[in-house]
Structure 1
Amino acid sequence: MATVGVKHHQMFIDGQDVDSDQVFEIRHPATNELVVTMAKGTVEHADQAVESAKKAFESGVWANKPKEERAAIMREIGNRIALELEEFIEDEIICNGATVRQATGFHVGLASGHFLYFADQAEQYEFERDVPTVAYPTMSMNRVRREPIGVCAAIVPWNFPLVLGIWKIGPALAAGNSIVVKVDEKTPLSLLRLARLAHECGVPPGVFNLVSGEGKEVGARLASHPDVGKVGFTGSTAVGREIMKLASGTVKKVTLELGGKAPTIVLPDADLDITADGALFGCMLYSGQICESSTRILVHESIHDELVERMVKRASTIKLGDPADYDTDMGPVVSERQRDRIVDYMEKAKADGATVALGGNAATVEGFEGGWWIEPTIFTDVTNDMQIAREEIFGPVMVVIKYSTVKEAIAIANDSSYGLTAGVWSTDYEAAVEVGNQLQAGTIWINNWHQVDPALPFGGYKQSGAGRELGEGALDEYTEAKHMHVDLTTSLDRHIFDILLSTPAE
């Protein structure tokens, strides 16, 4: 039942609002105040959404629409996102605690451009191509077609729901698929707004459906559903493994963007002023709740103390406060559970012998005592075998590891089960690129961080994922390749059928 006096939101299935008997309560991370409720979906709702998506796909109402028309509708959606920027920002920050500056620059600010990129791909992608072939054994024509898979499922995390949702929704729609989006129960509002907006812009009913629900029930059902041909998931590595297992039952296509423990190597010649600010930006943006954050800072022994001193001084100026205030630098973490998890990691680090150079505790913010806050934290005297250096914390916690040689730094950086992103800070670009070439990660940033371009692939090595999102190949993940062979030989004696039929035809 919805709470009296609090706005209630429903799911969006087959072009209509769909309610449930149960609700999720969504609380503002800065205050713990109940802000809205959301219908709590069930397996039955997931099945209803898949059935609607399947029906829409088989009707051809979107899949058979000329690609130019799909592109035009998607461009209208992308432009509407930009026009309704403030509404989308409000939807994000009341749910996930992002500051208004971060939401404007990243959480929502990237959304319109990324969606418009996929609108262009809907028109420019090579859905058909002829392949030159030799005349032996027979003359033929060969064509490769990329066809939509059918029903796709997107399981989206709470930290960047709009942008990370678009990374799945955009290529799915561009390729002609129908899609069912499973939102995280903590942050459903921006994607719910997008689903309704898409419907207003001309996406037919059933093509874009949105459900909520527990991941272990609704997410698991979508991953295992026999009528779902593709699953795109962003989240933890542990859940990603389960998604892969569930999808294997029907051998569906899977794209996984999972956890990270990104290393950044600071070479001895690095500009320390730029590096200090850049490393903090890479680690602590959005309170460190980004899978590709640079959380392991590997610093050469010759500059270690000086760089740590600068980072501590700069991090001490980070202002915690009201996420809606433009003067606020860092907001709360998303939930009480997340705060307690981060505190537990910090306590274990202290017990393991790491030194607290800054922070190291939960924080209290005046006027927001009910919220879930963590101090900007820097640990030194960290070794790569410590739990805090090996596991994803998802908080504003930087660990600094000292190294002696570049070879040693590369070995430490690659000594991880993750491989999503990595980076190098240096004024010697050739040396930085040489180091970057040896790092095992899907994206390497040199002298910057968080630079994500929709035209370039994003994804991880090792247990950071499978497949790639974004880039020219993004639609490959949402299409099936079909080879069409047309033999041009008209004379029986020119065929090679005699491999089987040795007796000449009469």
Structure 2
Amino acid sequence: MRIGGQEVDSDRLMTIVDPSTGAPIATVARGDAGHIDAAVAAARDTFESGVWRTKTPQERAAIMRRIVAAATDVADELVELELSANGATVRQATGFHIGYALAHFSYFADLAETYAWQRPAPIASFPALSQSVVHREPIGVVGAIAPWNFPLLLTLWKVGPALAAGNSVVVKPDEHTPLSILAFARIAEQNGLPPGVLNVVPGDGRDAGARLASHPDVGKIAFTGSTAVGREIMSLASGTVKHVTLELGGKGPSIVLDDADLDMAVDGVLYGCFVYSGQVCESGTRALVPEHLHDEFVRRLVDRAQTIVIGPTRDWDTDMGPVIDAKQQQRILDYVRGAVAEGATVALGGEALDRDGFWFQPTILTGVRNVMRIAQEEVFGPVLVVIPYTDSDHAVRIANDSEYGLAASIWSSDNARALDIAGRIQAGSVWINDAHQINCHVPFGGYKQSGLGRELGPDALDAYTEIKTVHLDLSGGRDAKPYDLLLSHADQGASR
């Protein structure tokens, strides 16, 4: 663990397993509630000392950029730590997992320099002449609880704005994937981040995670993960009325309109669902297709999906790797079998692969109705369901008939028509003729039970700051103030 700038061991260990082989690759100290307490205390000490908080935004940005440069120099090592623990392919880990992570951390450094730390309000003349200034100040200690699918990227979505704003941070990474953020924390301290500003405590969610979410000295908790766990985090945080950001589950619709370029739509729908074996919260796992195009589109999907290369994660020719572990592999299989029992048909795949590690075939299901469990619940695996619709209004109703609202895609050759439909979709991100377009310059988050708040974008630091209004009286004397609403001049004289 990394607590207060020190490497801290524990009596209990966690074994990190390579999902592509099922073999152990590392052991990591298992933190508990006591280690969380120590990490929060270290973070609180550094915050109160001002060693990071009182640096100018420009100074913080310079150090953050230095960290990015150093991490870029060892990017290949970070890629290896990611893919060896979560089964991403080397292409995905290089481009998305590490490439995005470092680019986005750099973006947060830029925000530190451009953010409106102080904003004057208009001069007020009533009830007395005055000037107010709105200040943005760091919250204090921020807790970050990160998932296993994009361990470094989604951790830095929290750590980056927290540090840019001057906070100190405690990270509880997922039990499967603590390696890359532990390495990043060491790199950060070696390149100017004061010890204790960024602390990392791997551990079990029910122990370490729950303590972090409920800790009275943590002023904000940021979490990415399942909706079920997000509800628990929200409940735990409510005990001390913390700031909370939640990025939760999704069941994204991919709406194929009847004027779509089918070649592009087929590739886009497959990319939207099967990249990283479907283990992306904003994956497009429901393909909504016009009834009259259904059979042709399914045929094209199946033909194209059969070209997806499943192989060693370190091979640059591999398109799709394993799922995270045996439990998830079995969960996906149970969902597919349940869907078949409800009347769905397996058009492609549908089975786990018989090889070392935790592999599952790209799977396409037809005969699915949106009320089925497979269409309503997040599978988090390479499973695409195809649902026919009659007209655009019907497609919108199906798309919105979900407890989730994280992301959606629309495939059309008519931009005006696609934009009209985008305005009717209940989702935080709607991509037209594309998928998985995560852009650090725009907010990301969900409607409904897909989360609370937004990450990324020009306002990303808002969630990691407190707002303070400082009021300065400019009236020049007692007679210009409205004190006589309570105290008369006679009363003033009597008091003398």
Aligned partner of 1:486 among 463, 472, 481: 472
Aligned partner of 2:384 among 393, 398, 420: 398
- 2:185 aligned partner: 195
- 2:307 aligned partner: 317
Given that residues 249 and 450 in structure 2 are in contact (C-alpha distance below 8 angstroms), is that contact kept between their aligned partners in structure 1? yes
The DSSP-based 3-state class of the residue aligned with 1:196 is helix
Q: Does 1:220 align with 2:220?
A: no
The code of the aligned residue for 1:120 comes to D
Query: TM-score under structure 1 normalisation?
Result: 0.96
1:120-164 C-alpha deviation (Å, 9 max, x unpaired) = 111111111111133122111110000000000000000001100
Distance 1:257 1:19 in 2: 31
Aligned partner of 1:95 among 82, 85, 92: 85
- Cα deviation for residue 13 of structure 1 reads 0.7
Aligned partner of 1:331 among 321, 342, 346: 321
The DSSP-based 3-state class of the residue aligned with 1:373 is coil
Query: TM-score under structure 2 normalisation?
Result: 0.98
Given that residues 425 and 446 in structure 1 are in contact (C-alpha distance below 8 angstroms), is that contact kept between their aligned partners in structure 2? yes
Aligned partner of 1:169 among 159, 164, 167: 159
- 2:141 aligned partner: 151
Distance 2:161 2:438 in 1: 16
Q: Does 1:448 align with 2:448?
A: no
Distance 1:111 1:209 in 2: 18
The code of the aligned residue for 1:347 comes to R
The code of the aligned residue for 1:296 comes to R
- Cα deviation for residue 503 of structure 1 reads 4.3
The code of the aligned residue for 1:402 comes to P
- 1:359 aligned partner: 349
- 2:253 aligned partner: 263
The code of the aligned residue for 1:481 comes to I
Distance 2:71 2:298 in 1: 41
Distance 2:197 2:80 in 1: 26
- 1:252 aligned partner: 242
Given that residues 153 and 222 in structure 1 are in contact (C-alpha distance below 8 angstroms), is that contact kept between their aligned partners in structure 2? yes
Distance 1:271 1:203 in 2: 50
The code of the aligned residue for 2:276 comes to Y
Distance 1:223 1:342 in 2: 29
Distance 1:316 1:81 in 2: 37
Q: Does 1:383 align with 2:373?
A: no
The code of the aligned residue for 1:233 comes to F
Distance 1:195 1:235 in 2: 22
- 1:463 aligned partner: 449
Given that residues 64 and 176 in structure 1 are in contact (C-alpha distance below 8 angstroms), is that contact kept between their aligned partners in structure 2? yes
Distance 2:250 2:428 in 1: 11
- 1:433 aligned partner: 419
The code of the aligned residue for 1:44 comes to G
What is the CA RMSD across the aligned residues, in angstroms? Answer: 0.8
Distance 1:213 1:111 in 2: 22
- Cα deviation for residue 370 of structure 1 reads 1.8
The DSSP-based 3-state class of the residue aligned with 1:362 is coil
Given that residues 124 and 131 in structure 2 are in contact (C-alpha distance below 8 angstroms), is that contact kept between their aligned partners in structure 1? no
Aligned partner of 1:183 among 173, 183, 188: 173
The DSSP-based 3-state class of the residue aligned with 1:361 is coil
- 1:275 aligned partner: 265
- 2:393 aligned partner: 407
- Cα deviation for residue 302 of structure 1 reads 2.1
- 1:141 aligned partner: 131
- How many residues align? The count is 492
Distance 1:245 1:350 in 2: 36
- 1:7 aligned partner: none
Aligned partner of 2:106 among 116, 136, 149: 116
Alignment gaps of 5+ in structure 1? 1-10
The code of the aligned residue for 2:396 comes to I
1:402-437 C-alpha deviation (Å, 9 max, x unpaired) = 000110110110000000101110000010010000
The code of the aligned residue for 1:448 comes to D
